[in-house]
Structure 1
Amino acid sequence: MAKTIYSHFIFLLSISILLFFSETTGGLKRSLSFELIYRYSPRSPIYYSNLTDSQRFEDSLLHFENRFLQLNNSQAMSVGYEITAIRPRIIFYGSLYMVFLTIGTGNGTIGYYLSIDTGSYLTWTQCKPCINCYPQNDPYFDPHQSPSFIDISCSHQNPCPQGNYHCINNRCHYQVGYIDGSYTKGTLSKDTFGFRSSHSDYPEFIEGLVFGCSHDSQLVVPSHGYPSGIISLGLFRESFAMQLINHGSQGRFSYCLPLRGSTSMSFLRFGDDIVQRGPVQTTPIEPSQGVCFYYIILNDISVGTKRLGFEPGMFARKPNGSGGFIVDSGAAVSRLITPAFERVKKVLRAYFRHRNFVEVDPTKYGISLKLCWLFQPHYQSLMPSMTFHLQGAEMSIAWQSLFHIVQQKGIFCFAMLPLETLTILGAYQQTNTRFTFDVLQLQLAFNPENCEHDSQP
């Protein structure tokens, strides 16, 4: 076990994780920045060099698209700055991210890869005794080896947190189910989370974070040994994002995703490590009882200069919980609710037909998208952008983030898909834009940015 801890820590040293503490007039400030690495990047531990870019894109669509919704949804810095910068490594896993961190203290301190999920309400990892667990490369967390581990107890006088927890044998239990059939069950617990420090031979810790100790879990999507669980960023009081409010994040986290194929580093940033450059727009986040997704209000869509004029309520949440528009970097591509997708499809067909592009059948090229066309000379100058007309803001999506280019097959495809239940802004359409979520002010800020430069302070 000691050898495992040592190897994980040496690994973290090699990727330059930074941690600095300093006192300011306002007290201790802390900012956290997790490095983002695309799953198919050579820096990824599950990198397959024999896959083409098109095969990697298809893999993200076919194997990870159903991991972004939960069943509880009724349908899911530099030295010298006066901040603390915690920079554990994150890996873009399929359509999700993972962070490497440690849980526990003493002999129970073990490192884990956990997927980051903006649609989850609880951080969890697999724990001993594992009644029914999926295989993972990291050892299962052993609560008995960590002296700082606490099971959250309950009684009639001291009930479990409201919502998703139940008191069984004087301990709080949780159960999370996912749309694809994956699930996790276990006990609500607290322990110390550790981050490697570059100025010391020892990790720095955040004590007493609530998480789920899973004794029964299953992932339908093949995991290849990763992840060991999930770090939650959802709108729920036990999520990682909400708990970090008490540790200097100011309730804010942010990311900027480079275009696919980029080899540049980018980061998931918290608190004072967030820098917004250029014109920033804001739109309100709509909270919903019992739901931890980030809903914003979408009123209409434009393709190029043509505003489509969707009827009011097309993208609104319905009384039964269906509908709405969520921002979710866990979805590989955006999804438009089916009636809206059909109208956008009609407009795009007319647009490209007018410019003499030849439409082709995606299935004949092994593509899972719905609309594809053949290249023609100087096609880049003819490509349309798209605009999402939000409440109080206009979000422009450049054509490079709107279409999937398959160079070796001589085609390009509209990189959105239909969905019956709701509309989702996925990772492909979020590239080269900084998104900053404020869970205290319930506000989403965004601005165009060259995410190739995100590694700069």
Structure 2
Amino acid sequence: MSSVTRMMSMVLSLQIITAFFFITATVSSSDSSQPGGFTMDLIQHRSKSNSSSFRRSNIDNQLRATPYADVAFDTYEYLMKLQIGTPPVEIEAILDTGSEVVWTQCLPCINCFNQSSPIFDPSKSSTYKKIRCTTPDQSCDYDVVYGDKSYSIGSFVSETVSIKSTSGQSYVMPETIIGCSHNNSAFKTSGSGIVGLNWKPLSLISQMGKHMLGAISYCFSPEGTSNINFGSNAIVSGEGTVTTPMFKKKEGPGLYYLNLDAVSVEKTRIETLGTPFHASDGNIVIDSGSTLTTLPASYCSLVREAVEKFVEAERVTSKDGTLCYKTNTMDVFPVITMHFTGGADLVLGKTNTYMAVNGGDICLAIICGPTIPLPGGVDAIFGNRAQNNFLVGYDDSSRLFSFKPTDCGVKQDIPRDSVSAASFLQFNITFVLFIYVLSLIRL
């Protein structure tokens, strides 16, 4: 190679590298806070609660508590860490696919519950902005009532919300609409609020924008680490994955519906067909904020009867009629399978469907609801206890739910954040080009 040719090759290579650095720097600076997908760990909070007061989250009081009062079930809540304001203040809030509003307790607090972290002080945040609404005093207030009659009252505000992924990358959401709550009641949580994740406009996933594809997935562990995935990281695939259609209904705005075709108790299959519970456009709401699964009374009684025929242990009498037995082993109970439309058959583990209560008895963790459908047409809930050890995906673009049996307490091979993966690729390409230039110089 002549010296002129070699020099031209070197100049061309340097121009390529310079252009590459310019392009990647531009991409990194514009997208660093907007990855196409990321993953973060969740915190599990567990407490005792009467079956009449477990929190079944749903806005506008569409649900009400069951009449059961004398069985103390464990309540499971999965908390998500968020950073609010500038400078950022870290909070922990309940993950809730059954509601819309993202809110945290704020000063001044008229009526606040105890939380483990300091209450957010808007006066110390430079990015806090009040929102004006078309009301006489231009205030923009909200009043959210949940299924157990707990409530949050406050004002909608604009604030910066940051989420730190497991890789350490921060996902920053400037001018996010959140609820600043000044009056709350009946919450029993170590967190400071709720992260609404339904499909309505003010939920967290909706405010993340189209680049997150409206996609979330989570893996709830009964013990150990749980996590949640957003965007491209939320794709559920691989061996054992099953899918079922997602339904949205005017009667239950914002809620995610599945269609339950049948429930099997061991080999006894109980069809919804021929019962008032049968539907083809969604008959059960999936809710990450509710612990127990609820079925309408008439259909639930058929499931209970099948369980009763199978179990030979001594029955424990309870005032509320909850199906309980005096036993210290799950082995006496039948396996329950939920059959969703499209061939999505979820074989539930014993801990998904039975719970130890009252210091020794074991009860069926499926609650029979009222005989009349609740407001909003909701009379069945698929709770987070039954979802344990499944990777559960919500894909709003395809209108599909995905379920994959997974040991959620074991660290999974989690996809890199999109930005981290892009940076890794950029480094590799740059390194190859650098080696190429060195080889030219040596020539």
- 2:79 pairs with 1:123: no
Normalising by structure 1, report the TM-score: 0.70
Residue identity matched to 1:286 = F
Q: 1:132 to 1:410 in 2, by over 3 A?
A: closer
Cα offset for 1:456? 3.1
Describe the superposition over 1:64-110 as per-residue Cα deviations: whole angstroms up to 9, x where unpaired.
Answer: 6134233342769xxxxxxxxxxxxxxxx94222222221114xx32
Q: Which residue of 2 aligns with 1:416?
A: 366
Q: 1:408 to 1:22 in 2, by over 3 A?
A: farther
Aligned-partner Cα distance in 2 for 1:123–1:174: 11
Unaligned runs of 5+ in 1: 1-20, 41-55, 77-92, 156-166
Aligned-partner Cα distance in 2 for 1:409–1:35: 31
Residue identity matched to 2:60 = L
Larger radius of gyration: 2
Cα offset for 1:240? 0.5
Where 2:277 maps in the other structure, the secondary structure is coil
Q: Which residue of 2 aligns with 1:436?
A: 393
Q: 1:387 to 1:131 in 2, by over 3 A?
A: same
2:111–2:185 contact (8 Å) kept in structure 1: no
Q: 1:245 to 1:314 in 2, by over 3 A?
A: farther
Q: Which residue of 2 aligns with 1:47?
A: none
Cα offset for 1:306? 1.7
Q: 1:195 to 1:407 in 2, by over 3 A?
A: closer
Q: Which residue of 1 aligns with 2:245?
A: 284
- 2:127 pairs with 1:148: yes
1:182–1:218 contact (8 Å) kept in structure 2: yes
Mean Cα displacement is larger for which, 143-152 or 231-240?
A: 143-152
Mean Cα displacement is larger for which, 228-237 or 275-284?
A: 275-284
Q: Which residue of 1 aligns with 2:323?
A: 370
The equivalences for 1:48-197 within 5 A come to 59-60=48-49, 62=51, 65-73=54-62, 94-106=75-87, 109-155=88-134, 167-196=135-164
1:68–1:330 contact (8 Å) kept in structure 2: yes
Q: 1:456 to 1:362 in 2, by over 3 A?
A: farther
Residue identity matched to 1:281 = V
Q: 1:249 to 1:368 in 2, by over 3 A?
A: farther
Q: Which residue of 2 aligns with 1:344?
A: 303
Aligned-partner Cα distance in 2 for 1:198–1:280: 24
Q: 1:168 to 1:233 in 2, by over 3 A?
A: farther
Aligned-partner Cα distance in 2 for 1:413–1:104: 44
Cα offset for 1:212? 1.2
Q: CA RMSD in A?
A: 3.6
Q: 1:441 to 1:189 in 2, by over 3 A?
A: farther
1:266–1:455 contact (8 Å) kept in structure 2: no
Q: Percent identity?
A: 25
2:44–2:79 contact (8 Å) kept in structure 1: no
Q: 1:439 to 1:171 in 2, by over 3 A?
A: farther
Cα offset for 1:406? 4.5
Aligned-partner Cα distance in 1 for 2:57–2:270: 28
2:83–2:90 contact (8 Å) kept in structure 1: yes
Q: Which residue of 1 aligns with 2:184?
A: 218
Describe the superposition over 1:397-454 as per-residue Cα deviations: whole angstroms up to 9, x where unpaired.
Answer: 3342454365997764322121114121122211222110113333211122222334
Q: 1:149 to 1:456 in 2, by over 3 A?
A: same
Where 2:261 maps in the other structure, the secondary structure is strand
- 2:313 pairs with 1:358: yes
Q: 1:189 to 1:301 in 2, by over 3 A?
A: same
Aligned-partner Cα distance in 2 for 1:34–1:311: 40
Aligned-partner Cα distance in 1 for 2:166–2:270: 52
Normalising by structure 2, report the TM-score: 0.72
Residue identity matched to 1:120 = S
Describe the superposition over 1:179-199 as per-residue Cα deviations: whole angstroms up to 9, x where unpaired.
Answer: 323222222221111235788
Cα offset for 1:317? 7.4
Q: Which residue of 1 aligns with 2:191?
A: 227
Q: Which residue of 2 aligns with 1:390?
A: 340
Describe the superposition over 1:285-334 as per-residue Cα deviations: whole angstroms up to 9, x where unpaired.
Answer: 22123622221111222222222233445335799xxx931112222221
Aligned-partner Cα distance in 1 for 2:193–2:350: 33
Describe the superposition over 1:132-156 as per-residue Cα deviations: whole angstroms up to 9, x where unpaired.
Answer: 433434333333322222222234x
Q: Which residue of 2 aligns with 1:10?
A: none
- 2:35 pairs with 1:29: yes
Unaligned runs of 5+ in 2: 1-24, 66-73, 374-378, 415-443
Cα offset for 1:31? 2.1
1:265 to 200, 222, 225: 225
- 2:213 pairs with 1:253: no
Residue identity matched to 2:105 = Q
Count the aligned residue pairs. 370
Where 1:453 maps in the other structure, the secondary structure is coil
Aligned-partner Cα distance in 2 for 1:192–1:31: 19
Cα offset for 1:210? 1.2
Residue identity matched to 2:106 = C
Residue identity matched to 2:173 = I
Q: 1:311 to 1:22 in 2, by over 3 A?
A: farther
2:207 to 240, 243, 246: 243
